[in-house]
Amino acid sequence: MAKRVLIVDDHAATRTTIRTLLEADKNTAFEVVQAANGTECLKVFDGKGPFDLILLDVNMPDLDGYAVCEALRRVDKDVPGLAVGYSRRLP
């Protein structure tokens, strides 16, 4: 059975790169779903979840990754494998 991955990033090129890398893996099958911002992520999670992994960008224009993470945890505190991307603001 394919692992379900939700990629959330406001840059289409980043989403495409991550999708390409996942789909190139010959050992594991992935079903990749994409969202272009935090609001879309919450809608996708609600309508198409659950996911085995959520790759979440920190810097997005509508809701940043931290706000999305908090919202997802309020809906499902056991969201598996939630990964938050880096921020240049961090030391």
pLDDT, one tens digit per residue, over 40-80 is 999 999 999 899 999 999 888 899 888 998 999 998 888 87
Residue recorded with tokens 């198409």: 48
**When comparing pLDDT for 4 and 82, which is higher?**
4
Structure tokens that stand for 13 in this block: 């090129």
CA neighbor of 9 nearest in space, from 54, 76, 75, 49? 54
Structure tokens that stand for 86 in this block: 């880096």
At residue 66, the pLDDT reads: 87
At residue 91, the pLDDT reads: 47
